[in-house]
Chain A
Amino acid sequence: MSVDIDTVKRVARLARIAVDQEDAERMTGELNAILGFVEQLNEVDVSNVEPMTSVIPISMKMRADEVTDGGKAADVVANAPVSGDQFFLVPKVVE
């Protein structure tokens, strides 16, 4: 499979990365080189093979359902580019 420039622009939109025409052209070539490389996986017979979900067989650890942390609003917003009253500030989303 290979991608065309419109697909690249659509994927960039999904990935929330702004691309101009020149970026999109370059990326089309690069992505096709990588997709061409991974194509060889089609040679492998994967019928009756389970997909891997965990490299090491472990069961999910459980802990008591209780509050162990919190009250750190100031720490949470400390690195935000824009914040106010311990909220993250973003451009207006709802008209």
Chain B
Amino acid sequence: MTELTKFTISELRAKLAAKEFTALELTEAYLSAINAANGRLNAYIAVTADRAREMAKASDMRLMQGGARALEGVPLGIKDLFATEGVHTQAASHILDGFKPRYESTVTANLWADGAVMLGKLNMDEFAMGSSNETSHYGPVVNPWRAEGGNKDLVPGGSSGGSAAAVAAWLCAGATATDTGGSIRQPAAFTATVGIKPTYGRCSRWGIVAFASSLDQAGPIARDVRDAAILLKSMASVDPKDTTSVDQPVPDYEAAIGQSVRGLRIGIPKEYRVDGMPAQIEALWQKGIDWMRDAGAEIVDISLPHTKYALPAYYIVAPAEASSNLARYDGVRYGLRVPGRDITEMYEKTRAAGFGREVKRRVMIGTYVLSAGYYDAYYLRAQKVRTLIKRDFEQVFEAGIDAILTPATPSAAFGVADQDMAADPVKMYLNDIFTVTVNMAGLPGIAVPAGLDANGLPLGLQLIGRAFDEETLFRTAHVIEQAAGRFEPKKWW
């Protein structure tokens, strides 16, 4: 039955409706695949087999009696950042040990209301802080991709590394993920999957463990562009429980797929041609430009002058917001408690034991830049730079650009326990150089697989759109997918 796990969501929709197999058979196939692979890949940190079977049986009833919903019987993996009622929800952190929420996040509630089946919770960087999935309390996720002829373990990217690895390794049909600086798009690029970060406000943040509230957005990671469109349609909603959820109806994203891009104006920002960019990335970008031109789009050189300041501004804004959001982990209301002489010592010991190194580092930076005397020099200045970054995008869109094409990442996947990255936190942060601008401006961005490098490892391209114009991203990403083809890892696990 393992072959069942190879179908895309759109294929499953047709095959389940045609009764070629049942939702329960499909779920069992995924549960066996997880059982066989997870010891090696570490993508799941909790498998909800009983719940999955119950949900699949309920879907089979619907499929039999009529009234199947948009994702009826489709088995999904859920990033550990989403609150799932009565189920492991720890943001892959030690400090949330044993936390099982009494409520369900809006995004996952939307998926279950559309008939999807929960397979379990996916590994991630602790509190979504990382670009390699190595900061997880549960250990690193291993990328299902390996260099041609090599057997070295590679990272799947992060923070949604479990989501990307599980989708690429056929351990779920699709996955939820979140993106604060590139956490959907960078792992998608490292695993030849499709990931979209929608416009800020498109998916409700209610019930998602907060990292940096003005940057966090949920989105899907999927096997192809159509599946990403199907999943986003279900995940997105207008939610009274999140005041930043925008009051706009959710369009039928799938309808945008296959529409011609003839006459669309695609911007190529010169500032993304960074110093020391590998020739392979440069060549891939040029290929993308050619594909768009061949499909009838008009290619326009553009300038986004404040691009290089996005990453430094992000490393003020995101830690500042994180230090405030993570103040709630105090050993009183949930999770880990380490006793102390008095309440202050209890707080300090709990947080010292419960947070990993990267999380502590960011809480410290955030506390410092918000502390008396430094607020104007750091936080206020960064928020002003953010205004300028957003203005750059507004000006090119006002000038008639429909979407912007860039590389998704500055390199392909790197090794687990890379020495250079471990020695210098800034080096790890540079992974997000092409993706972070989009979060700073609140815009939608999609990463789509575009080719393999000389070692046979996947590389992706990114398309950036106007606010709430995800449809143009699905339309343009589909053109790249059609031209580049799809890429699958050779199974070794």
With an 8 A cutoff between CB atoms, is B145 at the interface?
no
Q: Please state if A34 and B315 are interface contacts (CB–CB under 8 Å).
A: yes
Q: Please state if B361 and A27 are interface contacts (CB–CB under 8 Å).
A: yes
With an 8 A cutoff between CB atoms, is B343 at the interface?
yes
Q: Cβ of A67: which chain B residues have Cβ within 8 Å of it?
A: none
Q: Please state if B243 and A15 are interface contacts (CB–CB under 8 Å).
A: no
Which residue in A34, A42, A55, A90 is a CB contact (below 8 Å) of B365? A34
Interface size in chain A (residues, C-beta < 8 A)? 52
With an 8 A cutoff between CB atoms, is B256 at the interface?
no
Q: Cβ of B139: which chain A residues have Cβ within 8 Å of it?
A: none
Cα–Cα, bound, A61→B247 (Å): 9
Q: Helix, strand, loop or mixed for chain A's interface?
A: loop
Known: A18-B349, A18-B352, A81-B335. A41 touches B390 (CB 8 A): no
Known: A30-B425, A31-B364. A46 touches B201 (CB 8 A): no
Interface residues of B in 171-219 (CB under 8 A from A): 199-201, 214
Known: A15-B363, A17-B355, A56-B200. A37 touches B426 (CB 8 A): yes
Q: Please state if A58 and B201 are interface contacts (CB–CB under 8 Å).
A: yes
Which residue in A11, A37, A58 is a CB contact (below 8 Å) of B367? A11
With an 8 A cutoff between CB atoms, is B277 at the interface?
no
CB-based nearest B residue for A36: B426
Q: Cβ of B340: which chain A residues have Cβ within 8 Å of it?
A: 91
CB-based nearest B residue for A77: B333
Which residue in B102, B244, B361, B441 is a CB contact (below 8 Å) of A30? B361
Q: Please state if A90 and B332 are interface contacts (CB–CB under 8 Å).
A: yes
Q: Cβ of A19: which chain B residues have Cβ within 8 Å of it?
A: 352
CB-based nearest B residue for A89: B332
Q: Which of B5-13, B156-164, B282-290, B377-385 is near enough to bind chain A?
A: B377-385
Q: In the assembled complex, how far is the CB of residue A95 from the closest CB belonging to chain B, in whole angstroms?
A: 10
Q: Please state if B442 and A44 are interface contacts (CB–CB under 8 Å).
A: no
- Contact indicator per residue, chain A 22-66, by CB within 8 Å of chain B (1) or not (0): 000001001101110111111110100111111110101101000
Q: Cβ of B315: which chain A residues have Cβ within 8 Å of it?
A: 34, 37-38
Interface residues of A in 66-95 (CB under 8 A from B): 72, 75, 78-82, 88, 90-93
Q: In the assembled complex, how far is the CB of residue A34 from the closest CB belonging to chain B, in whole angstroms?
A: 6
Q: Cβ of A7: which chain B residues have Cβ within 8 Å of it?
A: 368
CB-based nearest B residue for A45: B388
CB-based nearest B residue for A93: B343
With an 8 A cutoff between CB atoms, is B419 at the interface?
no
With an 8 A cutoff between CB atoms, is B223 at the interface?
no
Q: Please state if A14 and B371 are interface contacts (CB–CB under 8 Å).
A: yes
Most A C-beta atoms less than 10 A away, residue of B315, B344, B345, B368: B368
CB-based nearest A residue for B388: A49
Q: Please state if A88 and B332 are interface contacts (CB–CB under 8 Å).
A: yes
Q: Cβ of B352: which chain A residues have Cβ within 8 Å of it?
A: 17-19
With an 8 A cutoff between CB atoms, is B3 at the interface?
no
Cα–Cα, bound, A54→B240 (Å): 18
Q: Please state if A34 and B426 are interface contacts (CB–CB under 8 Å).
A: yes
Q: In the assembled complex, how far is the CB of residue B434 from the closest CB belonging to chain A, in whole angstroms?
A: 17
Cα–Cα, bound, A9→B333 (Å): 26
Q: In the assembled complex, how far is the CB of residue B458 from the closest CB belonging to chain A, in whole angstroms?
A: 28
Q: Cβ of A8: which chain B residues have Cβ within 8 Å of it?
A: 364
Q: Cβ of A31: which chain B residues have Cβ within 8 Å of it?
A: 361, 364-365, 368
Q: Please state if B387 and A49 are interface contacts (CB–CB under 8 Å).
A: yes
Q: Please state if B337 and A81 are interface contacts (CB–CB under 8 Å).
A: yes
With an 8 A cutoff between CB atoms, is B334 at the interface?
yes
Q: Please state if A60 and B243 are interface contacts (CB–CB under 8 Å).
A: yes
Q: Please state if A34 and B335 are interface contacts (CB–CB under 8 Å).
A: no
With an 8 A cutoff between CB atoms, is B346 at the interface?
yes
Q: Please state if A51 and B384 are interface contacts (CB–CB under 8 Å).
A: yes
Known: A41-B381, A81-B335. A16 touches B102 (CB 8 A): no
Cα–Cα, bound, A89→B163 (Å): 37
With an 8 A cutoff between CB atoms, is B138 at the interface?
no
Q: In the assembled complex, how far is the CB of residue A44 from the closest CB belonging to chain B, in whole angstroms?
A: 5
Known: A11-B371, A52-B386. A17 touches B351 (CB 8 A): yes
Known: A34-B315, A81-B331, A82-B337. A17 touches B348 (CB 8 A): yes
Cα–Cα, bound, A92→B345 (Å): 12
What are the 4 A-B residue pairs with the smallest beta carbon separation, nearest first? A55-B442, A51-B383, A81-B337, A18-B348
Instruction: Please report B residues at the A interface, Cβ cutoff 8 Å.
Output: 98-102, 199-201, 214, 240, 243-244, 246-247, 306, 308-309, 312-313, 315-316, 323, 327, 330-337, 339-349, 351-352, 355, 360-361, 363-365, 367-368, 371, 374, 377-378, 380-388, 390, 424-426, 429, 440-442, 467
Known: A34-B365, A50-B387, A56-B467. 18 other contacts (CB 8 A): A3-B368, A16-B344, A17-B351, A18-B349, A34-B425, A38-B378, A38-B382, A46-B388, A53-B383, A55-B441, A56-B246, A58-B201, A79-B98, A79-B335, A88-B333, A90-B343, A91-B340, A91-B343
20 A-B pairs with CB atoms under 8 Å apart are A13-B348, A18-B345, A18-B352, A31-B365, A31-B368, A34-B365, A37-B315, A38-B316, A40-B309, A41-B382, A41-B385, A49-B384, A55-B214, A55-B440, A56-B200, A58-B201, A58-B246, A61-B247, A75-B102, A82-B337
Instruction: Please report A residues at the B interface, Cβ cutoff 8 Å.
Output: 1, 3, 7-8, 11-19, 27, 30-31, 33-35, 37-44, 46, 49-56, 58, 60-61, 63, 72, 75, 78-82, 88, 90-93
